[in-house]
Structure 1
Amino acid sequence: MGVVAAGVSGLLSLPAQAQEVPPGVVFLMDNSEAMQNYPQFLPEDFTPGWYAANKVPPVPVTPKGDQGSEGSAGLAMDTGCEDPALVAAMSWFDKNSADPAKNGSIVYDSDSDLKSPFFEPNRFYFSRGRRLGWNVKEGPWTINGNNFAGPLNSIGDILSACYASVGWNTTDYPYGSVDSPLMTECRACLASKGWWRGPIVTANTQATNPSGAGPLKELDEPPLPPEAFRKWILSGRVLNVRPPRFVIARKALKDVIDSVTNVRMGVATFGEDHGWFDPPAMLEKLRPTCDQSYPIFDDAALNRPRLRQAVNEMLFRNNERSIGEALFGLGGYFSSQMADNRWGSWFQQPVNPGDFGWPGCCNGGTYDDPYTGKQGDYWGVAMDEWLKPHYSDPVSGKVLPGQPWEGTGYDKSVCNASQSNNIIVVSAGAPRSDNSVPITKMMDILKANGARHPDGSLLTFNPINPETNPNVGGVNYCHLFGVTKEACDYTYYNWPTGLGVGNKNFMDDVAFFLSHTDLRSDMANSQTVRTFVVGYGDSSPMLQSIALAGRGSFFRADQPGTLRDALLFAVGQSRNSCSAP
């Protein structure tokens, strides 16, 4: 949906003065690998017959690798920048235009905290049709391993960019007084257009150089799109017009952090694989501290540079999109755990009812992973499953975040009984691998408190024999957003899931729990947490169900401007009411 600027007029900076209790807002940013993708994949469009008629000679100059044939860089078919269908599909960029919005002459994100401009207009970057080349899974690459803040691998001259794109192979693509037709084409395209569509990686491992191959599909990953195998070279100008999703989202969030005040803000993202339940990574807790927030809001103590730096520290490499697990962990952060063991009293193992909180088979387990064979019998059985501490592997040095808690002094998550507590999620798709939460325990607490759905009906939940139970209950509002409840039981490449028809995915149940449960016994009022969701290029019914269950709002944002506006509008709504009763 569009978001009008008038909705955020009250968010501009104000002089420091006594004000109403500022809301607490944690931005939960999607860090899944899909955030590396471009909002729109680069085109595979071609004019039938045009390439063979205009590019491929009757007898190739070289027996392999050149136009129309296969070499170490892949299959050179429909390459170039002249095919009329391809030119039309790339018409959103014009390096010769006088308009910076079309010629990409202005760096999209020049934040000095980043180690590389995103992107330098007159340098060249290796790409695939869906994202920049990432050396973890494909080559040649632009993004190095786990560093998404740069420095990026780029090349300044056209000749080097073209030959580096084929691995400097002077056998398949001769380098000398006479260049191969493919390399001549590449150089001409970069000079005239600023982009070149190159070869396609194939399954022919005997032909393709391993350093220029990939990506490989993981067993529990959906099939890869064709664009994942097409090689491109792009000037920074092209990338400044249409950056990858993570660059756009990161910039939008930093702009929001810079433009609002009288709001306590924190930054979080999805945690790495920690077994079953994966606690969120709390990159920066709510700022400023309680004593700096009310009755006088100290804007300097908000420390916007540190919040922006936290955004820049995000690593967009997660193979899961665990919104529900992250919401559950943030619920613990907003709870009074440090004051009175609130979270631990609920979720210390074994939780009851239901062995280890799962409405499935085998004394708390679930089925084995159909893709990898991982055993499901031992789902969530660790004694600290829902209270996992920070973990640092002494051998590999890998650091996994633990369950985040508030501080014990003035750095509490909830400063005042009148504070509005909020999580604003930015997600580029529906949750995935996101059901490791103590669902039966949460539902038990809600039922004991007489929780009701938005239509006024009582919440129900019955985890007994879920495979044969026609109505397990729980929370699922997908039927209000154009599909059936069963359509939100998506299980493909989404293990583990529940077994009860109509509620096999629990991320909206978590949002409902946070928005309908008093998370603190050390304060007056009911300290609940609302969840807002911004679907970045996505309106999945589950995302909308999460927002409704969380007593928040859902926003669809497709363009950089609307993404920023949606975030600002959600922040504005966080001011409107205190925690729900």
Structure 2
Amino acid sequence: MGLVAAGVSGLLSRPVHAQEVPPGVIFLVDNHESMQNYPQYLPEAFTPGYYPAPTSPAPGDLGGEGSAGLAINTGCSDPALVSAMSWFDKNSTDTAKNGAIPYDSDGALKSPFFDPNRFYFSRGRRLAWNVKEGPFTINGNDFDGPLNSYGDTLTACYGGVGWDTTDYPYGAVNSPLINECMTCLASKGWWRGPIVTSNTSPGQAGPQQEIGQPPLPPEAFRKWIISGRVLNVRPPKFVAARKALKEVIRTAPQTRMGVATFGEDHGWFDPALMLEPLRPSCDDSFPQINEAALNRARLTQAVNEVDFRNNERSIGEALFSLGGYFSSQKVDNRWATWFQQPINPGWGWPGGWDGGTTDNPYTGQPGAYWGLASNEWLKAPFLDTATGKYFPGQPWEETAPGGRRSVCSESQASAIIVVTGGTPRSDNTVPITKMMDILEANGARHPDGSLLMFDPSNPDTNPNVGGVNYCDLVGSTKAACDYTDYNWPAGHGVGNKNFMDDVSFFLANTDLRGDMPGKQTVRTFVVGYGDSSPMLKSIALAGKGSFFRADQPGSLRDLLLFSVGQSHANSCSAP
């Protein structure tokens, strides 16, 4: 397994020949809410004793408290703050530092990301989102714009302090806080504003800490106003990841490609949302990819359609459902034959006929019925008539004449490339016992050659349930993959409480199709954007792929393209 921390040149691992059967690659895009975060939070740095501390400050005074929060350590002149923001300089002649060029000016987006001549409401960790905080820049679930922004400093600053003129009774003269804000935006292009307290007006407050989620960082409560120039230098994670992936889609040679993301909350198992199945059709893929049918513009638009608002990072559940997409279910009922309920594994596993798992320690939600729905692993799409919301179900391949089959021939290599910003969470509703049963029956082996074993009995007391956990092989410990804090539900077996790497192992070691010769498996590659959690590495190793960490947008693009190149390595030449 390759571990890479920086950009890669000479990306494709070997030449791609016209007579090669192109691999099928699904990009699985992390849509967790944390993808809205900046790669590095805006700084809370300050010089002790620098900020004025008046004894009885009025709203609108430096140090005062108004409807928008407490004006403490605001401004743009504190030496510690100026030093921490030195990565940006609006007066620099270097566009990489002055942000004069929009980071992503894709014409298919509803607004540029970002307009260098406008100002945006932010918090220290991300752009302000109207679902969680105000005043806001991102409106609802529409992450391709239009964004809420302002073209003049006065309007932006009054918005930043809550549009509250009654709290700033200075007549025709602006308050000290407003003057500070306007001066900072004009001279620096950014202003660090008030911090939210318990006294902040509801429309100006937030975010609220969610039950079952880790505590919010202090930066989440600090208000900022920043120009589009700042955002073009250090964009939010989702903007950088989206652009990098689109650049890869526009340039990757001789590859069938599709786009998926983590699915809607279906209760327990949440199938992946297939935004665009593999393109083009088999007939348009050999002996050479038909570029018109590949329709790279449609694939990049699918990336633009991702909504980064999921409160779960369900990599394992998404991988499992994409395994169904690559299976021969529509031809010979293979997936349903394996995963039709009832599954009878015993207590403490999803789908367990005599009980599920512990109750949710954060919300009290019962765990007894974990994964017990009759169609749990085969969920069909449905419309919630009460809300009018459509829930996509388990994706299957297209089998109609001329349709886009997931696997075109026995010589095709298939892969899933995950681009993610963190560790999987709320991600264990997969039929672990049935997958392990199939693998054991087929004599699956670990990378060291030893046979896979899995003993589902009495997981609470069983000292070695087996399964897949490679955290100790990637520079960590098995215990690091047994994390349960802010991660429910989880299994009970020590050494295998989380099942994401079991899923990637299953896909890489199981023949998913009964309708063609050979062994049709799926490899899993993982690119962690700013994250190299042990579980992400274990997923990639178990999936016979590679893990890479990218800390900069440029290296993210390079590593995604490199992963595409590696997916060609298993392709066989057509007869």
Q: Could you tell me which residue of structure 2 aligns to residue 120 of structure 1? A: 115
Following the alignment from structure 1 to structure 2, what is the Cα–Cα distance between the partners of residues 260 and 173?
Answer: 56
Say whether 1:88 aligns with 2:83.
Answer: yes
Following the alignment from structure 1 to structure 2, what is the Cα–Cα distance between the partners of residues 175 and 158?
Answer: 18
Following the alignment from structure 1 to structure 2, what is the Cα–Cα distance between the partners of residues 386 and 499?
Answer: 21
State whether residues 65 and 73 of structure 1, in contact with CA within 8 Å, keep that contact through their aligned partners in structure 2.
Answer: no
Deviation track 1:473-501 (CA, whole Å, cap 9, x = no partner) reads 00000012232111211101110000011
SS at match of 1:5: coil
Select 1:414's aligned residue among 407, 418, 425: 407
Q: Could you tell me which residue of structure 2 aligns to residue 23 of structure 1? A: 23
Following the alignment from structure 1 to structure 2, what is the Cα–Cα distance between the partners of residues 314 and 266?
Answer: 13
Say whether 1:350 aligns with 2:342.
Answer: yes
Say whether 1:306 aligns with 2:298.
Answer: yes
Following the alignment from structure 1 to structure 2, what is the Cα–Cα distance between the partners of residues 199 and 500?
Answer: 47
Following the alignment from structure 2 to structure 1, what is the Cα–Cα distance between the partners of residues 220 and 496?
Answer: 33
Following the alignment from structure 1 to structure 2, what is the Cα–Cα distance between the partners of residues 72 and 577?
Answer: 60
Q: Could you tell me which residue of structure 2 aligns to residue 391 of structure 1? A: 382
- The Cα of 1:29 is off from its aligned counterpart by 0.5
- The Cα of 1:300 is off from its aligned counterpart by 1.8
- Give, as a single letter, the amino acid of the residue that structure 2 aligns with 1:478: C
Following the alignment from structure 1 to structure 2, what is the Cα–Cα distance between the partners of residues 356 and 412?
Answer: 37
SS at match of 1:424: strand
Following the alignment from structure 2 to structure 1, what is the Cα–Cα distance between the partners of residues 19 and 310?
Answer: 40
Q: Could you tell me which residue of structure 1 aligns to residue 357 of structure 2? A: 366
Q: Could you tell me which residue of structure 2 aligns to residue 224 of structure 1? A: 216
Deviation track 1:263-317 (CA, whole Å, cap 9, x = no partner) reads 0000000001110000000000000001000123212211011001100000000
Q: Could you tell me which residue of structure 1 aligns to residue 499 of structure 2? A: 506
Following the alignment from structure 2 to structure 1, what is the Cα–Cα distance between the partners of residues 332 and 344?
Answer: 20
State whether residues 122 and 136 of structure 2, in contact with CA within 8 Å, keep that contact through their aligned partners in structure 1.
Answer: yes
Q: Could you tell me which residue of structure 1 aligns to residue 135 of structure 2? A: 140
Q: Could you tell me which residue of structure 2 aligns to residue 428 of structure 1? A: 421
State whether residues 353 and 444 of structure 1, in contact with CA within 8 Å, keep that contact through their aligned partners in structure 2.
Answer: no
Deviation track 1:352-373 (CA, whole Å, cap 9, x = no partner) reads 444795397x814111101111
SS at match of 1:575: helix
- The Cα of 1:351 is off from its aligned counterpart by 2.0
- The Cα of 1:76 is off from its aligned counterpart by 0.6
Q: Could you tell me which residue of structure 2 aligns to residue 66 of structure 1? A: 61
- The Cα of 1:551 is off from its aligned counterpart by 0.1
Q: Could you tell me which residue of structure 2 aligns to residue 107 of structure 1? A: 102
Select 2:6's aligned residue among 2, 21, 25: 2
Q: Could you tell me which residue of structure 2 aligns to residue 518 of structure 1? A: 511
Deviation track 1:441-470 (CA, whole Å, cap 9, x = no partner) reads 000000000000001011010010001000
For structure 2, list consecutive stretches of 5 or more residues without a partner in the other structure. none
- The Cα of 1:174 is off from its aligned counterpart by 3.2
Q: Could you tell me which residue of structure 1 aligns to residue 146 of structure 2? A: 151
Say whether 1:442 aligns with 2:435.
Answer: yes
261 and 7 in structure 1: CA distance in 2 versus 1, 3 angstrom threshold: closer
Select 1:293's aligned residue among 285, 297, 307: 285
Deviation track 1:495-524 (CA, whole Å, cap 9, x = no partner) reads 000001111000000000000000000011
Q: Which moved more, 1:348-357 or 1:135-144?
A: 348-357
359 and 352 in structure 1: CA distance in 2 versus 1, 3 angstrom threshold: closer
349 and 241 in structure 1: CA distance in 2 versus 1, 3 angstrom threshold: same
Following the alignment from structure 2 to structure 1, what is the Cα–Cα distance between the partners of residues 54 and 99?
Answer: 35
Q: Could you tell me which residue of structure 2 aligns to residue 234 of structure 1? A: 226
Select 1:379's aligned residue among 357, 370, 374: 370
SS at match of 1:85: helix
Q: Could you tell me which residue of structure 2 aligns to residue 47 of structure 1? A: 47
Following the alignment from structure 1 to structure 2, what is the Cα–Cα distance between the partners of residues 567 and 330?
Answer: 19
For structure 1, list consecutive stretches of 5 or more residues without a partner in the other structure. none
SS at match of 2:83: helix
Q: Could you tell me which residue of structure 1 aligns to residue 254 of structure 2? A: 262
Identity of aligned residues (%): 72
Following the alignment from structure 2 to structure 1, what is the Cα–Cα distance between the partners of residues 361 and 172?
Answer: 56
Say whether 1:166 aligns with 2:151.
Answer: no
State whether residues 33 and 317 of structure 1, in contact with CA within 8 Å, keep that contact through their aligned partners in structure 2.
Answer: yes
Say whether 1:465 aligns with 2:458.
Answer: yes
State whether residues 349 and 356 of structure 1, in contact with CA within 8 Å, keep that contact through their aligned partners in structure 2.
Answer: no
SS at match of 1:576: helix
Deviation track 1:86-106 (CA, whole Å, cap 9, x = no partner) reads 000000000000000000000
State whether residues 348 and 492 of structure 2, in contact with CA within 8 Å, keep that contact through their aligned partners in structure 1.
Answer: no
Select 1:576's aligned residue among 550, 562, 569: 569
- Give, as a single letter, the amino acid of the residue that structure 2 aligns with 1:415: C
- The Cα of 1:552 is off from its aligned counterpart by 0.1
525 and 5 in structure 1: CA distance in 2 versus 1, 3 angstrom threshold: same
SS at match of 2:487: coil
Runs of 4+ in 1 over 6 A off after TM superposition: none
- The Cα of 1:65 is off from its aligned counterpart by 4.7
Deviation track 1:527-567 (CA, whole Å, cap 9, x = no partner) reads 00000000110000000000000000000000000000010
Deviation track 1:168-205 (CA, whole Å, cap 9, x = no partner) reads 1112223532211111100000000000000000123x
- Give, as a single letter, the amino acid of the residue that structure 1 aligns with 2:184: C
Q: Could you tell me which residue of structure 1 aligns to residue 126 of structure 2? A: 131
Following the alignment from structure 1 to structure 2, what is the Cα–Cα distance between the partners of residues 174 and 259?
Answer: 57
State whether residues 510 and 520 of structure 2, in contact with CA within 8 Å, keep that contact through their aligned partners in structure 1.
Answer: yes
State whether residues 60 and 178 of structure 2, in contact with CA within 8 Å, keep that contact through their aligned partners in structure 1.
Answer: no
Following the alignment from structure 2 to structure 1, what is the Cα–Cα distance between the partners of residues 289 and 147?
Answer: 39
- Give, as a single letter, the amino acid of the residue that structure 1 aligns with 2:341: Q
Q: Summarize the alignment of residues 551-570 of structure 1 with structure 2, pairs less than 5 Å apart.
A: 551-570=544-563
Q: Could you tell me which residue of structure 2 aligns to residue 273 of structure 1? A: 265
Select 1:404's aligned residue among 363, 373, 395: 395
Deviation track 1:195-242 (CA, whole Å, cap 9, x = no partner) reads 0000000123xxx11111000011111100000000000000000000
514 and 46 in structure 1: CA distance in 2 versus 1, 3 angstrom threshold: same
Say whether 1:188 aligns with 2:183.
Answer: yes
SS at match of 1:203: coil
- The Cα of 1:123 is off from its aligned counterpart by 0.1
SS at match of 1:472: coil
Following the alignment from structure 1 to structure 2, what is the Cα–Cα distance between the partners of residues 165 and 486?
Answer: 45
> Alignment length, in residue pairs?
566
10 and 103 in structure 1: CA distance in 2 versus 1, 3 angstrom threshold: farther
Following the alignment from structure 1 to structure 2, what is the Cα–Cα distance between the partners of residues 59 and 202?
Answer: 18
Q: Summarize the alignment of residues 237-252 of structure 1 with structure 2, pairs less than 5 Å apart.
A: 237-252=229-244
Following the alignment from structure 2 to structure 1, what is the Cα–Cα distance between the partners of residues 355 and 297?
Answer: 45
214 and 344 in structure 1: CA distance in 2 versus 1, 3 angstrom threshold: same
SS at match of 2:462: coil
- The Cα of 1:340 is off from its aligned counterpart by 0.2
TM-score by length of 1: 0.95
State whether residues 143 and 306 of structure 2, in contact with CA within 8 Å, keep that contact through their aligned partners in structure 1.
Answer: yes
Cα RMSD over matched residues? 1.5
159 and 267 in structure 1: CA distance in 2 versus 1, 3 angstrom threshold: same
Deviation track 1:36-58 (CA, whole Å, cap 9, x = no partner) reads 00000000000000002xxx445
